[in-house]
Amino acid sequence: MSGYVELGRVVENEQIGSDVWCMVVYAPKQAKEAKVGQFCDVRVAMGTMPLLRRPISYAGFNAQEGTITLLYRVVGKGTELMTQLSVDDTIDCLGPLGNGFTIPKRVLLVGGGVGIAPMVCASNHLPEGTKATVLLGFRNKEEAFWADLFKQDKVDVHITTDDGSLGTKGFPTAVLPSLCANTKFDSILVCGPTPMMKGVAQVAHELGLSCQVSLENRMGCGTGGCLGCAVDGQDGRRYKVCMDGPVFDSEEVGF
């Protein structure tokens, strides 16, 4: 899906973690048409610097209020410029882009880092009758503010930390087999650092479970023109993450 440019109005732009911000944008067309797992490509300045857009997953959308929610981490000049936007400022959003998740009746949502954003979106937009469990991986307990984003949803949240300061010590893969043994899932949805997604996909393969991965490649244009996001498929094909993804069956793509 190629999306369209929508000049959104900033409704809220607040820091929620040490380097993580939450932006709510009035963009009624995207709010009405966006699907879980899709993203928008944001132009952070009206000039030529920085030139490329920044791809940001929808962390939420509200068709009635006409708003989309974007969670972003400050990692460079572009995202630093985003933090300077204030209420009623205009932001150029290209979207909705890409293909989203297919959410079954019993689903496990696994997220790490800003890859938690599409899991928040999935949790907020579960189809009626769907039961979800959430597994989040953090470096330490200071990052656990992400878990608060799921409090309003009726989901069980499990936490792992690299240093053991909160929840189970280790990566999400440390508890994944036991979770899957205790609850029968139809599919696993995962987004986050590549090593984490690769590990989750491997466990899912060993357990015979469907696994959908959302790749976080740099998508400069969002429309398939720049080829900067292309990845190899396991069938020998080359996929454009912005157009063919960002969501893929884990058996489709190589990591």
Domain ranges in the chain are 4-97, 106-249
Q: Is 4-97's fold the same as 106-249's?
A: no
Q: Is the domain covering 106-249 a CATH 3.40.50.80 domain?
A: yes
By the 8 A CB rule, do 55 and 218 touch? Answer: yes
Q: List the one residue out of 67, 72, 160, 171 whose CA is nearest residue 115.
A: 72
At 209, list the tokens: 């479970």
| Tens-place pLDDT, residues 206-226 | 999 999 999 987 777 777 777
**The predicted structure's pLDDT at residue 68:** 98
- Give residue 229's pLDDT: 86
The segments of the chain whose pLDDT lies below 50 read: none
Rounded-to-integer distance, Cα 12 and Cα 87, Å: 6
Model-wide pTM > 0.85: yes
Q: Supply the pLDDT for residue 165.
A: 95
The C-alpha atoms of residue 53 and residue 71 are separated, in whole angstroms, by 15
Q: Looking at residue 219, what is its pLDDT? A: 73
Q: Given CATH 2.40.30.10, say whether it is the number of domain 4-97.
A: yes
